[in-house]
Amino acid sequence: MFDYDYLIIGSGFGGSVSALRLAEKGWQVAVVEQGRRIGRPEIEAGKRSLRQLMWLPKLGLRGYFVQHLFRHVAIVGGVGVGGGSIVWAAVMLEPKESFYNDPRLQALGLDLKSELAAHLKTARRMLGVTLNPRQSEQDEFLRQTAQRMGVAGTFGAVPNAVYFGEPGVTASDPFFGGEGPAREGCTFCGGCLTGCPTGAKNSLYWNYLYLAEKRGVNILSESKAERIEPLAGGGYRVSLIDAVSGRLLRSLTTRNLVLSAGVVGTLELLYKNRDTYRSLPGVSATLGQVVRTNSEAVTAVLHPPGSDMTNGTAISTDFHPDPFTHATQNRFDRGYRFMRGYMGPLVDDPLPWRRALKTIGAILSSPRLLLSNLLARDWEKRITTFTIMQDLDNHIGLQYRRPWYWPFSRKLVSVANPGHAAPSYLPIANRLTREYAAISGGTPMNITLESIGGLSTTAHILSGCPMGQSAADGVIGTDHQVHGHPGLFVVDGASIPGNIGVNPSLTITAMAERFAALQPSREEPHV
């Protein structure tokens, strides 16, 4: 007798979709989430205080925004019930054609373009996707930038998962015919990235998770999965701990286990249970060998004093500087003021060490730029950041070993993959930023994690658990099941096989819908 039919680790896009759909199929389902439930009071506190915003469990901080720093990549994300959707920009773009044409998928006999079509439609409906209805000064600057770069025809409003009802007015369930919660219209405050203060953003607790709980799904917040033990005769025992204290909270048994903890969380769980606890020995050696940053870079422009760029959603427009590259603008609110400490001069050089020296030299020779950024009043109103993504075939590895600086225990460590290294410098990103700065009268800047640290920066980490015919060439099969471990599945960004080149939340949602559709209903035979 199991505690649950399906235990899901993580409440982001993969976990939330799986929870609702499996419950609809009649199964007993629970979702494990290491973070708290995040509501309006927590979001308002996070916007005022870095201590309330950040998730740093080793320091006792239980906020909802997390940064993972590795040697080759800096990753940002969300922690709490709803996962990354708490701090996501709600941009819902379909994957580019190159994603579907990946020869590795075709070798597996997958026609994802056909398979995902219906699931993409379902994902858009569930997440309330519609074109952003408002453009302001920041968007006009971006439009002119696209025009100056000769690609004006690619500029346009992005599809957002936001309730664009009457601003600040509560409506009775605008999405699910009375089965969902009441919602408040977007006020265009620009604060999406540190949590929506009005509840207009269609985070997962307003849709998939809300409906899942109505169908009996149990959400176990403030619980972190630690040890996974296969049971004789099938199923798994999962030990749950407190993420801050490490104290054992409980152990649960489940017929099936779904890992949806995000790339970092899922890889850590699989590595730890394969290599430390040795309870999952069949997990493929391909684990973590190819991890993708979405070939992403982040740049910024500081506008002149008196500017206010916050009128709108976090991301409202985009364009394609070239066939491989996708660019969006980003708005911040006061919760993101800590980012000013990451900004430095815009510097070009393809060699990371030389670019770092040039950046340090530029700071020392002209500290005025750095000081004007650090001391700027209303910094969040004056800043425009850009996320630039590509669909090129580059990647890093995330291995599980004892790093030289901490030989006492194993942890995830990034490694460069020669010949395919994920970039920390995108020339097209710097060109775009200079053009925008010239149009707007602002100062162009790089993120020093990239320009000095040589890191890629991303909110869209992908892959790490490749699909394959067997454990020899992949961690999971095309049904998301881990090779060698029946009933163990990976359903999150780790199962996405390539750089999508655009914001990936719609793709992850659709892939999770596909996974759930492949699972049997309770009355069907369970293989």
Query: Backbone dihedral region of 145: left (phi > 0), alpha (psi from -120 to 50 degrees) or beta?
Result: alpha
How much helix, strand and coil, in percent to the nearest 5, is found in the chain?
A: 30, 25, 40
In angstroms, how far is CA 182 from the centroid of its own chain?
26
d(CA 205, CA 210): 5
DSSP 94: P
Amino acid at 187: T
- Is 460 part of the annotated catalytic residue set? yes
Residue 230 φ/ψ, nearest 5 degrees:
-65, 140
Give which of 227, 233, 219 is closest to 250, Cα–Cα. Answer: 227
Considering 72, 119, 460, 480, which one is annotated as catalytic? Answer: 460
d(CA 113, CA 110): 9
Q: Is the dihedral of CA 134, 140, 143, 147 positive or negative?
A: positive
d(CA 277, CA 295): 33
Give which of 184, 202, 204 is closest to 130, Cα–Cα. Answer: 202
Residue 234 φ/ψ, nearest 5 degrees:
110, 155
Helix H or strand E segment including 230: strand 224-230
Three state DSSP letters for 487-525 = CEEECCHHHCCCCCCCCCHHHHHHHHHHHHHHCCCCCCC
Helix H or strand E segment including 354: helix 352-365
Active site residues per annotation: 460
